Structure 1
Amino acid sequence: FRFSSISRFVLEKFRRNMADERNGNGEQNHPAPKLNHRIISSMSRRSVAAHPWHDLEIGPDAPTVFNCVVEITKGSKVKYELDKKTGLIKVDRILYSSVVYPHNYGFIPRTLCEDGDPMDVLVLMQEPVIPGCFLRARAIGLMPMIDQGEKDDKIIAVCADDPEYRHYTDIKQLAPHR
């Protein structure tokens, strides 16, 4: 699918999410917590781990280039997912087949989809990276999907800092075997 032919609804929602993030107009049901309140409490002097979904900025260059958090490493048979309460990456299951994740897979922080999860992203890049790290990505396409009867589209992106992939702007530019 070409990025330019993505469902207008999904693309507009993605852009609206990022515009709301920049303007501080988060949805009423999911207000973005203030970063300093979650990261360090000056009153108690206790550190609190940053939550990758709520505390990580989407990035100053969004929607062109945006931050994303990797949950599943390229080549892995382990299905990890974000634990929404703690912000930690937990093991969901081990894939019982010869199938592996073809590229790094994760989510875009401070986004919310119809399924109640952050927006999913598959990031094409040369190397696997560890679960829980974040990187800068550029969307080049969309993979429409249905999961348990609900729409669960995946953004296809390239790592903005990978010299082999950063020049791609559309999924049609990729070689068929990628």
Structure 2
Amino acid sequence: MSFTTEERGKPNTQDYRVYFKNSNGTYISPFHDIPIYADESKSIFHAVIEVPRWTNAKIEIATKEPMNPLKQDVKKDNLRYVCNVFPHKGYIWNYGAIPQTWEDPGHRDNDTGCCGDNDPIDICDIGNKVCSRGEIIKVKVLGTLALIDEGETDWKVIVINTEDPEAEDFNDIDDVRRLKPGYLEATVDWFRMYKVPDGKPENQFAFDGDFKDRNFAIKTIKETHEFWKKLISKKSDAGELNCMSSCVSDSPYFCSSADATAVVDSASAFGDAESVPSSVDKWFYYNKK
């Protein structure tokens, strides 16, 4: 199964979008139409890369738009860029999401005591390759961190690209501690501080910031997949989420390929990128408490 992307609008502007196609040339939703599993028997999952490592633009699946393209987040009418908090530069992993998952805001997690954040479950790919925006990779799950973001459960699943030359050496979270010393500590540090330059308090974590193992992480992913099944079948309230799908044929939200094409055709034509503000390169120094 292969996927391609199509850019629309001008990069680094609010009209920029990245749409997805499957191998048949049909426009698809990266939220709903890409299968969660690349190989279910081996617990290998698909992941959609939203933000390549070392970059700052907060690109995400547009869950409220038809066909759910990638777009850059906007706050206070400005494009959002994640700040560099020393010693980190941009995102320190390839960052993205697992399709066909949903952290249900109506479900209070028994472990964290908080409800979901209304998004697909997030992944941090620790592989060596710097992925491309919109790239679909196959990942091995290693563990998870439970970020509590403004009172919501926001799982961060640690994964490695199965095509990474070192992938066979990584099978659980302890392998990351052993083979990439400092990476997990840096991950907690990054998530704790990345909003501080914007005037927000440090983020908090469940489990005192400890990582849960592979089995716990896979169980959590499967739970969010069940929540997604209820969402796409209208058994859960979608609220503002757009569940338009060109591949989930038994869903009430199923649309024709022509309908999906019409959505993309209505988007702005692809154009030259605008410049990125120089302030994006600023490094912030912060005294940890």
Same-fold call, TM cutoff 0.5: yes
Bigger Rg, structure 1 or 2 = 2
Structure 1 position 53 matched with structure 2 position 31: yes
The TM-score, its normalising length taken from structure 1, stands at 0.69
Decide whether the 8 Å contact of 2:169 with 2:175 is kept in 1.
no
C-alpha distance 48-65 of structure 1, shift in aligned 2 (>3 A) = closer
| 1:72-91 matches, cutoff 5 A | 72-84=51-63, 85-86=65-66, 87-91=68-72
The count of aligned residue pairs is 134
Structure 1 segments of 4+ aligned residues over 4 angstroms from their partners: none
The separation in 1 between residues aligned to 2:182 and 2:161, in whole angstroms, is 18
C-alpha distance 143-77 of structure 1, shift in aligned 2 (>3 A) = same
Decide whether the 8 Å contact of 2:38 with 2:46 is kept in 1.
no
The separation in 2 between residues aligned to 1:166 and 1:121, in whole angstroms, is 19
- Which residue of 62, 68, 75 maps to 2:47? 68
Deviation per CA, 1:90-144, whole angstroms, max 9, x where unpaired? Answer: 1121123344111101111001112221111111111111111110001101111
The separation in 2 between residues aligned to 1:117 and 1:166, in whole angstroms, is 30
The separation in 1 between residues aligned to 2:70 and 2:144, in whole angstroms, is 24
Greater helix percent: which structure?
2
Aligned to 2:102: 112
| 1:16-165 matches, cutoff 5 A | 49-62=27-40, 64-84=43-63, 85-86=65-66, 87-92=68-73, 93-98=80-85, 99=88, 100-113=90-103, 114-165=116-167
The separation in 2 between residues aligned to 1:126 and 1:166, in whole angstroms, is 13
The separation in 2 between residues aligned to 1:124 and 1:65, in whole angstroms, is 15
Unaligned runs of 5+ in 2: 1-20, 74-79, 104-115, 184-289
Among all aligned residue pairs of Structure 1 and Structure 2, give the percentage whose two residues are the same amino acid.
29
The TM-score, its normalising length taken from structure 2, stands at 0.43
Q: What root-mean-square deviation, in Å, do the aligned CA atoms of Structure 1 and Structure 2 show?
A: 2.0
Decide whether the 8 Å contact of 1:124 with 1:165 is kept in 2.
no
Offset at residue 49 of structure 1 (A): 1.9
